[in-house]
Amino acid sequence: MGAGPDPARDAVPQPRRSPSDDRVTPHRRRRSRFRLRDWRMGTKLATVLVLPSVAFLVLAGVQTRGLVGQTTALSDFAQQVGIGRQISTAVDRLQQERDRSAGELAALRKAGGSADRDAAVAALKPLQDASDRAMTDLRAAAEPLADADAAWRVAYSEVLEAYDQVVYIRAAVPPAVLSSDTVLSNYHRAIAALLNLLAEPSPGDDQRALTDAVLRYVQLSRVKELSSRIRAELYAAARAGRYEVDDQVNLTDLRAQQLTALGAFRVAATADQVRRYDETSVDPAFVSAARLEEQTLPSGTAEPAVLPATQWWAASEQRQELFRQLESAVLDDAVRQADDASARQLRDTLLVVGGIVGVLLVAVLISLLVGRSVARSMRQLRGQALRIAQVELPHTLDRLRAVDRPVGTIDVPPAVVDSQDEIGELAEAFVAVHRSAVDVAVEQAMMRRNVNAMFVNLARRSQVLVERQLELLDELEREESDPDQLENLFKLDHLAARMRRNDESLLVLAGTESSRRWNRPVGLGAVLLAASAEIEQYQRVRHDSRSDLHVVGHAVGDLVHLFAELLENATAFSRPDTVVRVVAGADGPGAFVEIVDQGLGMSPAALAEANEVLAEPPAADVAASERMGLFVVSHLGARHGVRVRLRGGQDGVVARIGIPAELLAPAPAPGLDQPAAPRMLTSQVAAASRLAPGAGPLATATAELPVAGRRPPAPPAELPVSPLTGLPLGGAPPATEAARRTPGSTVPRPRPVPGRAEDVLAPAAGSPAGGGWFSRQGPSGAVLGVTPPPAATPVTGGTNERGLPVRVPMAQLTAVNQPAAADRPPRHEPDPEAVGGMLSRYYSGVRRAEAEETTEMYLPRDEGGRRQ
């Protein structure tokens, strides 16, 4: 058994796409990371956005760094100015201790007694403790400035070193073992270091106002320091009761320095600070101290007066306190101004940094939104393009390729990107391309359907002609008495039946149902016998039906066609001296049929290819005309859910047909499906009477199996038996034919009498009309125009412009297909000479076809490939 002739490689049908296999996969080539055009769209957008952003960040970073540096500098400046309070306090405490120590040293040198020494220690002890506390507060306030600039740290370290010397020299004051200059010089150095530390804060060259603020309180502190040193000199002279040799010179120098410092302060000070200084200078305590100091000035020949120690100390201490208050006020102004400048600079820096960060965030956000919009549009466009190319367009082509469904309206989805930019225009271009492709596919589908409709109409016309030919052959067979001529008519009858099957195959490939239908369940064995009757070498088919199964009526015609194609294949690709076995039986809820031949066989590749075609019916193309049987079986199986699969057997191929339970039906009521006597004529009876039991080369080997066209055993001796149904035939008894023969004539070799499928599946006698083989009643699933049920009156399509009726194609097909009845009224007979010429030409063609089939041997074109 074979699957048909080996087609050309380019004509091998490809399996259609299944919707479950839809996968959108992009086609990508190998990309290079170093080629700009191969970069992803996101990378390109990121590059376009990142480069300006980086440049902006660099410039903003430089600007921010300068602002942060200024803010840090002003913050350190404000802290250094703020620590001036602790510094001025420490200076004031050391001045108190120094001035009192100068007086006590002078008193100790004058007295030289131990009692005075204890009094000096008792007087100095509270002042020394106050200085220590002030220095402790200064150290605590200076700890946060450990990371300040180097100049300030150096000045601070000098302060600590100088104060350590003061602490060390204190022990030398009570014994008065050191000179006053030696002791007081340590105090002078410590206070000078503190004043230098007080003047150390520097806001920078561009902060002139802050520099002036520092200069003001530093100058006022120097005025206060010079005033304190003058007090120490005068207090020491008052305690000693006299002036030393250099005292007046020192006092004159100190007064000159004080005036210079006071002038510098008044120049640098603000009007409010000058006003406050003037108010302080007219204070009674300040004026009283100034008047006492004026008494110590030399005038003419009079010696400078030595002031009373207690009176001078009290007056000078009040003046120093006024200086201290004025110094604190000026220092507070500087601290406030420094804090304001630092806060303002910090605020400006934060605003600039916040603005930079805000601009950057807004730019990044806008960039991300724009980039995301572009990338999303590109992704959507890419996804739509891939879906169009890999899903929608193939599905549309599959839908248009199927001829058993109407085309309908195919909607092209709109563009997924509805923007007005270039991407939106590109999306519209994709949609336009898709629409054009669909329009072209629809045009091609309509062209194919028109071609299919043309083929259907041609096949229908050919069917009408073949049916009329069969009817004519029936009449000729009824009127023919010559056995040889009757045999020729039988062959012609069989070839016409094959032509009818070819027309039905063309209808199947065009997606149209056959006109031959059965309305009642039919036994599966009868269906298989009917299929055997449709093939040429029906004598070689042996049937073995093991169960009483029945097939629903609407599927009988298609199953007969399917089995006939498989049986034709099995007999065509096996040796003439072999048989083809047909086994049928139940398979669970369904049924199975196996067709086993002993033919050439098929290679595994050819079997796999044939099974792919049987599993998924391909569209009709050039290969369908070369392998029509395989394509027809595939389409018929898909139409009814019948599974057909080929496998290799011992000597040939086994075709297994699985019939689903939906196509099986219970046996009909008795009397409704009993086969009636086929329409055999008297001449057929005469030819059938020449059959002898066991005739033919295969009779002895296969007599136990029924065969279409062979008479079953044990017929009645008086009447011949139909070779298809096994029923007695009507007509003349065989003795009549034997009586005609002359003595000594040669008895011809018995031949099986051919039959048709309708002979096997003839309706039961007395069954309702319209329920037979050629009924077209009931709905049809075809879309290319199945003939409607025949009308009681001739069907016309109206009248034309001349008033003549318009014929409706195929409307009267049922009347043509009705079998000839004995009581049919006589009709007009055609010209005998014309009929004879037509049959002669037809018979010549049949002879040539038989000669070609029997003399040419088809060889496989490749491994396992065979012709049908």
Alpha-carbon distance of 473 to 500, in angstroms, equals 14
pLDDT digits (tens, 9 = 90+) for 535-553: 888 888 998 876 788 888 8
Q: What is the pLDDT of residue 7?
A: 37
Are 525 and 670 contained in the same domain?
yes
- Is 644 part of any domain? yes
- What torsion do the CA atoms of 531, 535, 537, 538 make, to the nearest 10 degrees? 30
pLDDT digits (tens, 9 = 90+) for 472-509: 888 888 888 888 888 888 888 878 888 888 888 878 87
Token pair listed for 129: 């403790």
For the chain, the distance separating the N- and C-terminal CA atoms, rounded to the nearest angstrom, is 9
- Is 789 part of any domain? yes
Residues 6+ apart with CB under 8 A from 327: 88, 217, 220, 221, 224
- Which range of residues forms the domain containing residue 683? 463-743+753-796+811-825+833-854
Alpha-carbon distance of 333 to 22, in angstroms, equals 83
Residues 6+ apart with CB under 8 A from 803: none
Lowest pLDDT segment from 174-178, 711-715, 752-756: 711-715
Q: What is the pLDDT of residue 426?
A: 84
Q: What is the mean pLDDT of residues 550-573?
A: 88
- Is 11 part of any domain? no
- CATH number, domain of 647, equals 3.30.565.10
Q: Could you give the C-alpha distances from 2 to 466, 501, 566, 589, in angstroms and in order?
A: 28, 19, 9, 29
Q: What is the pLDDT of residue 705?
A: 42
pLDDT digits (tens, 9 = 90+) for 783-832: 333 334 444 455 555 666 666 666 555 444 443 344 444 444 554 555 66
Alpha-carbon distance of 114 to 819, in angstroms, equals 168
- Is 420 part of any domain? no
- With vertex at residue 143, the alpha carbon angle to CA 140 and CA 149, rounded to the nearest 5 degrees, is 140
Matching residue, tokens 């191929």: 653
Q: Could you give the C-alpha distances from 743 to 348, 717, 747, in angstroms and in order?
A: 142, 22, 11
Task: Please provide the average confidence, as pLDDT, over all residues in the chain.
Answer: 74
Q: Which of residues 8 and 340 earns the better pLDDT score? A: 340
Alpha-carbon distance of 847 to 852, in angstroms, equals 9
CB 709 within 8 A of CB 723: yes
Handedness of CA 767, 768, 771, 775 (dihedral sign): positive
- Is 348 part of any domain? no
pLDDT digits (tens, 9 = 90+) for 170-223: 888 888 778 888 889 999 999 999 999 988 888 877 788 888 888 888 999 999
Q: Tell me 48's DSSP state.
A: H
- Is 728 part of any domain? yes
The number of CA neighbours under 13 Å toward the Cβ of 849 is: 13
Are 504 and 646 contained in the same domain?
yes
Q: How many CB atoms lie within 10 A of CB 524?
A: 25
Q: Percent of the chain, pLDDT > 70?
A: 70
Are 338 and 471 contained in the same domain?
no
The number of CA neighbours under 13 Å toward the Cβ of 111 is: 17
Token pair listed for 165: 């010397």
- Is 819 part of any domain? yes
Residues 6+ apart with CB under 8 A from 647: 607, 653, 654, 656
The number of CA neighbours under 13 Å toward the Cβ of 65 is: 6
Residues 6+ apart with CB under 8 A from 611: 645, 646
- Is 405 part of any domain? no
- What torsion do the CA atoms of 99, 103, 106, 107 make, to the nearest 10 degrees? -160
Domain count, the chain: 2
Q: How confident is the model at residue 92 (pLDDT cuts 50, 70, 90)?
A: very high
CB 460 within 8 A of CB 787: yes
